Each structure stands twice: as C-alpha cells, then as structure tokens.
C-alpha cells in the first residue's frame, strides 16, 4: 500500500491558470517541496503526467520500489499527480516511475521542476530547499538604471567549466571559487555584466549546456544551488550584473529528461516536422500546448525571481520563429496562412516578454536571432516580439570578414564596415563576438587577423575600439579579451599563461580602458539605440581605408569624435570636418605604447579651425597612426 498522504499545494485557480497556459509561478507548486503537514515534516511531490496510469516516487528512501509511494491523480482532469510523503527531507534522491495508460510503456524520469540534480553522469533529482540570505539589496534597488537601454552595457561571456581550471587537480573552479576569482577579474576588467553559457543541469559536456534536462537546477558540476546564489550575490555586491543563457527552443531526448515523459509527446510537439530539430538531433517544445507555455515562462521567471538574474539571453530564436528552419523542402508544413512563421512560438515569445517585463521591469531579455525578422526588440503593443535587445549578427559577420582581409584589399570592401549603419537603429542591437565565433575551425579572433605579429595585435585592438565606439551594447567571449591564439576548447582552461607576454597584456589593457571609456562618456551610451546618437563625418575614403564619425549623448556637450585607420600606413595632416570650434582632446588611442602600439602620433590637443570641410563649418588636421582608432572630445 502506498505511504503517500493526500495533500495539495494547488488551488482550483492554480489549476485553471495552468490549463489555460497562464500560470507563471509553477515552481511554487510542482516539484518537491519540504513542508509540514499535521505536525509531521516531509516532502510534497507534484508532477504533470496526463497520459499516466500510475506515478510513483522512487528513490534511495524506498529502494527504488515503485509500489511504496504512489502519487494520487487529481480529480480535475489536469493530469497532475501529487501527494505528501512523511519523513522524507532534504538530500533525498528520487525519480518518478510512470506507467502509461494505454501503451504499457514505463518511464523513469527526473523531476522537471527539481531544484537540485545529481552530478552527471548520474541523473536523479534531489529534494532541496531554497534557503539563502541575500546581501545584494543595494544592487537590486539600483539595477534598473544599470540594466537600462541608455546605460553602458558591456558583457563578458563565460563558460564556467573552462574559464579557469585547477591544473594540479584537473578540475574546473567551483561556484564558491568563481565567486572570488571570476568576480575579481571581471571587476578589474571593468565589464558591467557577465553572461553565463547555460548553467541549468545538462547531461552531456560537449553540448556546452545547450541540451538541458534540469531546467530549474543549476548544474551540480560546480556545487550546490546556494553556492551558485553566492556567485550571483557576489557579482551584485561588486556592481556586476548577471545574464543567463536560456534555451526554450529545444531539449535532448535523454531517457531521464522531458522527452516522451509520460509515454506520450508531452513537452515536445508530436509532429516531427515541428517537434524534432535535425541539426541538433533534439526535441522541440510544443508551443501550442498551454501547459508547456506555462512551464517555460515559469522557468524564465524562476531564474529572475529565485536567483536574482538581471537578464536572460534567449538562445536560437530564429529556430523557433520559422517552421522551415534548417529543413529541406517538403520537411515542414506552412502555417494556417501559408507562411513559414511559427505562429505558436511567436505568441509564446510575446507572452514571455510581457510577463518578464511586467514582473521584472529592471531586467533585460536578449534575443540571439540571426535573421531579418522585423521588430524583435520592439514592444508587443506595437506589433513587436517584446525583447529588450537583439544580437547584431550582420555586424559581426561583416566586420570579422572585413578584418580578415589584408589591408591592401580593404579599400575595395569598406562597405562591409559602413553597411551596418543603414540598419543599426532598426532594433536595439547588441554587438556580439561570442563563443560561436571561436570554434569549429573558425579560428580565434586574433587568429583571423592578417599580417605579422605587430599587425595582428594592432588589428585586434582596432577591431575592439571600433566595436566599443559603434552604436549598440557589447558582448565579448572569454579569452578574446587578451588575444588567445587557440580556438576555445570546452575541456581546457583558457591560456592564461599568455599574459606573461606584452602584446597579450596590451590587448587586456585595451579592453579595460575601452570599458572605462564606454562607462565614462555618455556619448557612447545615452543614445546607443537612437539614430540621433550617431553621425558620419566621412565614410567614403575608400582609398585610405579611413572612417570618421561622431557619437552624441543627451547633452549638447556630450560628443566624441572617432577616427579609424584600417591600414598599416600612418596618415599625416589628415583633415576631417567638425561640428564646432575649440580643441580636439585625445581621450583614447589604440596605438598607444601601453597597449603595444607604435606610439608615433599622440598629440594630446589639436586646434580646430574655421574651415568648411565634410559639409561642416570647422575642421582639424590629425596625424593618424597605423591600424588604429583614436577617440577625441572637444574642448571649447
């Protein structure tokens, strides 16, 4: 006989919201919860399995016997199985043994809502509480201004398993160690935010975390859930925001995961044309199912609520938007209007963003979206998808393609650089140089740069300077900030030994100073998504491969002048038109000797004269170093 007591955390209202796809706090109900009933402490379990004939909790407390603790199915046709098991508490290991109604199939599944999972390759769930005393109230009170779209937003993208390793022990750093070492490093580098590649529990290391089985549990690879909270807390105490990679696009078909959960296609779409991803050999969520939408949006809210995340970067949005994504002709079915858009996924994303920004108006949801789908970062009420920002993949591809060319040929490809400004303000764009650009034979960022060693590093500093002065927020993958030569390998630590060499230290110092520059001058962030914040001075000097532009802030005095020379030929007395009188004062030069540059031209102040040039009333003549970016402010 089952030793499960009848008990429920669900009200009728909860069930109605769940069935309608409108319950966005399901983690408060589903899963395992340590509670006291009639003076007895134990654990309440609840799981959604509408195609089940019976559901048992099996674990280390009942020798994995499915006859001991059989849950009770609710009377309301919700498909929810639940019950209270006395004397089971924190640390108990368990799964759900599910017998399907018609097929006779049995599955043994990890809890979709588990707060903690066993360390891979083990796959069971662990009963856990949510106790943690947060110390980040100062950050939480002011984070709305730190996460605003008119604030400096410079992101350091990190894969926790390979950022740094304890070589002698051949292991990655723990959450606790990262709270000390990673936080200290990011603070010194002056980044405003960290983005973590998925930390939700995943079974397969080579997936980098993008094939998730434990959506509500930080991976056990690096420690306990409260230790991950310590990492978040420490980042916040050091004025650093945290963005989590989030994957609502697909999930693996591992036996203990969400796939074929109760003997039916419960979380995945039953039609393989909509429910199976051919590239990743994974299953696609059924966005048409109300309960699945509730699960996913509850998961997004969970990380913002329970873990104080400052934002979510939503992975693979393009694969969700289009029914024909990576599919051959005939392998997909058009929507009801004959189009290729996945209307259910679009409605899901709109509902997600409405709920997130309504509940957490001080965070950001960022779309990794690689197509020209319109209005991704525009509000839902105007017809947009409602994201706060979108990755600017076109800028990334065009810019890296341009920099890979020998400088002598760049004059024929200047449009690769300038083209981004034709669409830069159609979305709230983030400029990404992410992990995807340093794997699978693409080479590292510095590995793409042409020329001898000096030119490679000068090109790299120029690329980063152009990136930080281009409109939009910024993202840089770990290792790129000091010019790692090797491609990223998730099994190995970054090549920290390179910082013993001046060129690599010079790149690191360049990034630090660019972050300082970005945060110091409102011209670089006040209007980073606004056409009024940018003006060309000169974009058509193809022969010299030079561009010059103005960045503007809200105040009239907040303007910066940027000049980039994409060749190794220095230019003397190069004239540019300027908007006002006074003196040009140099505030940044990527060719400075402290970065590993030549240092040949470093005039601190340059007189502006009344002289019509570039359709402006004033002008100045500047000596421009080779392969460099210079940033000036105007002193009246």
pLDDT tens digits, one per residue of 414-428: 999 999 999 999 999
Q: Is 612 left (phi over 0), alpha (psi -120 to 50) or beta?
A: beta
pLDDT of residue 477: 98
CB 620 within 8 A of CB 584: yes
What backbone phi and psi angles, to 5 degrees, belong to 20? -90, -5
Helix, strand, coil shares, percent, the chain, to 5: 30, 25, 45
How far apart (Å, rounded) are the C-alpha atoms in residues 78 and 95?
21
Quickly state the pLDDT bin for 626 (edges 50, 70, 90).
very high
How far apart (Å, rounded) are the C-alpha atoms in residues 507 and 465?
11
pLDDT of residue 251: 97
The residues that are catalytic are: 315, 368
- Whether the predicted pLDDT of 330 surpasses 90: no
Per-residue exposure over 169-196, b if at least 16 CB sit within 10 Å of its own CB, e if not? eeebbbbbbbbeebbebbeebbbbbbbb
What percentage of the chain reaches a pLDDT higher than 90? 96
Structural domains for the chain? 12-126 (2.60.40.10), 153-257+312-337+364-524 (3.20.20.80), 531-635 (2.60.40.1180)
Burial of 2 (0-12, 13-18, 19+ CB in 10 A): middle
pLDDT of residue 101: 85
pLDDT of residue 399: 97
Quickly state the pLDDT bin for 636 (edges 50, 70, 90).
confident
Task: Work out whether strand 241-246 and strand 311-314 pair parallel, antiparallel, or are unpaired.
Answer: parallel
pLDDT of residue 603: 78
- Whether the predicted pLDDT of 235 surpasses 70: yes
Instruction: Strands of 142-198 (E only): list them.
Output: 154-158, 165-166, 171-172, 193-196
H or E element that contains 320: helix 317-321
pLDDT of residue 2: 62
How far apart (Å, rounded) are the C-alpha atoms in residues 223 and 233?
15
Question: What does the DSSP 8-state code read for residue 24?
Answer: -
Nearest to 260 by CA among 98, 113, 95: 98
CB 591 within 8 A of CB 568: no
In 10 A of CB 336, how many CB atoms? Answer: 6
Burial of 134 (0-12, 13-18, 19+ CB in 10 A): middle
Q: Which tens digit of pLDDT belongs to each residue from 496-534?
A: 999 999 999 999 999 999 999 999 999 999 999 999 999
Mean pLDDT score across all residues of the chain: 96
Nearest to 300 by CA among 254, 231, 249: 249
Question: What does the DSSP 8-state code read for residue 567?
Answer: S
pLDDT of residue 31: 98
pLDDT of residue 102: 75
Q: Which tens digit of pLDDT belongs to each residue from 583-614?
A: 999 999 999 999 999 999 877 899 999 999 99
- Whether the predicted pLDDT of 343 surpasses 80: yes
Angle made by CA atoms 266, 114, 83, in degrees to the nearest 5? 80
CB 480 within 8 A of CB 504: no
- Whether the predicted pLDDT of 484 surpasses 50: yes
Torsion, CA 225, CA 230, CA 231, CA 233, rounded to 10: 130
| Residue 477 bridge partners (DSSP) | 157
Quickly state the pLDDT bin for 1 (edges 50, 70, 90).
very low
CB 610 within 8 A of CB 557: no
Report the residue count for the chain.
636
In 10 A of CB 556, how many CB atoms? Answer: 8
- Whether the predicted pLDDT of 440 surpasses 70: yes
Q: Which tens digit of pLDDT belongs to each residue from 160-177?
A: 999 999 988 889 999 999
H or E element that contains 345: helix 343-359
What backbone phi and psi angles, to 5 degrees, belong to 246? -130, 135
Q: Which of 9-18, 95-104, 403-412 has the lowest mean pLDDT?
A: 95-104
pLDDT of residue 3: 87
């Amino acid at each position: 006989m089952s030793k499960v007591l009848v008990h429920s955390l669900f009200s009728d209202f909860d069930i109605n919201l769940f069935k309608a796809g409108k319950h966005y706090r399901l983690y408060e109900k589903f899963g395992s919860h340590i509670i006291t009933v009639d003076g007895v402490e134990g654990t309440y379990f609840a799981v959604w399995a509408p195609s089940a004939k019976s559901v048992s909790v099996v674990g280390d407390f009942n020798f994995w016997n499915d006859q001991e603790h059989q849950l009770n199915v609710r009377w309301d046709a919700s498909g929810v199985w639940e019950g209270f098991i006395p004397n089971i508490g924190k640390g108990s290991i368990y799964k759900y043994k599910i017998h399907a109604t018609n097929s006779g199939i049995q599955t043994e599944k990890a809890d979709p809502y588990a707060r903690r999972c066993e360390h891979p390759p083990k796959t069971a769930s662990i009963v856990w509480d949510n106790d943690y005393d947060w110390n980040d109230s100062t950050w939480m009170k002011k984070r709305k201004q730190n996460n605003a779209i008119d604030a400096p937003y410079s992101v350091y993208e990190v894969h926790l398993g390979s950022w740094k390793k304890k070589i002698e022990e051949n292991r990655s750093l723990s959450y606790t160690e990262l709270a000390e070492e990673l936080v200290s490093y990011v603070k010194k580098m002056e980044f405003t935010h960290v983005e973590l590649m998925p930390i939700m529990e995943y079974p397969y290391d080579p997936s980098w975390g993008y094939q998730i089985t434990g959506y509500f549990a930080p991976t056990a690879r690096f420690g306990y859930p409260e230790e991950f909270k310590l990492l978040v807390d420490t980042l916040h105490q050091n004025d650093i925001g945290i963005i989590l990679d989030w994957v609502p696009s697909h999930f693996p078909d591992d036996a203990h995961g969400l796939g074929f959960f109760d003997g039916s296609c419960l979380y995945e779409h039953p039609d393989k044309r909509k429910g199976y991803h051919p590239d990743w050999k994974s299953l696609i969520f059924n966005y048409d199912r109300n309960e699945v939408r509730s699960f996913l949006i509850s998961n997004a809210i969970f990380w913002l609520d329970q873990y104080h995340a400052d934002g979510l970067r939503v992975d693979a949005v393009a694969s969700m938007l289009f029914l024909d994504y990576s599919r051959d002709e005939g392998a997909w079915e058009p929507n009801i209007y004959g189009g290729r858009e996945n209307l259910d996924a679009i409605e899901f994303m709109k509902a997600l963003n409405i709920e997130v920004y309504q509940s957490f108006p001080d965070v950001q949801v960022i779309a990794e979206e690689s197509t020209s789908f319109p209005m991704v970062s525009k509000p839902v009420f105007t017809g947009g998808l409602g994201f706060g920002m979108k990755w600017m993949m076109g800028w990334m591809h065009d810019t890296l393609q341009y920099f890979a060319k020998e400088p002598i040929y760049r004059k024929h490809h200047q449009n690769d650089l300038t083209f981004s400004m034709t669409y830069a303000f159609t979305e709230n764009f983030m400029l990404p140089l992410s992990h995807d650009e340093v794997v699978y034979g693409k080479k590292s960022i510095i590995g793409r740069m042409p020329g001898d060693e000096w030119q490679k590093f000068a090109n790299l500093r120029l690329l980063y300077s152009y990136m930080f002065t281009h409109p939009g927020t910024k993202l840089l993958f770990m290792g790129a900030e000091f010019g790692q030569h090797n491609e990223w390998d998730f099994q190995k630590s970054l090549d920290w030994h390179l910082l013993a060499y001046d060129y690599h230290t010079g790149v690191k110092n360049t990034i630090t100073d660019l972050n300082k520059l970005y945060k110091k001058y409102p011209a670089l962030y006040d209007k980073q998504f606004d056409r009024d914040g940018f003006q060309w001075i000169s974009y058509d000097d193809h022969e010299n491969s030079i561009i010059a532009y103005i960045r503007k802030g809200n105040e009239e005095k907040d303007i910066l002048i940027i000049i980039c020379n994409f060749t190794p030929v220095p230019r003397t007395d190069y004239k540019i038109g300027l908007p006002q009188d006074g003196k040009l004062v140099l505030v940044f030069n990527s060719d400075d000797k402290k970065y590993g540059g030549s240092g040949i031209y470093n005039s601190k102040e340059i007189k502006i004269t009344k002289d019509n040039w570039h359709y402006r009333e004033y002008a100045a003549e500047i000596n421009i170093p080779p392969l460099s970016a210079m940033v000036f402010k105007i002193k009246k």
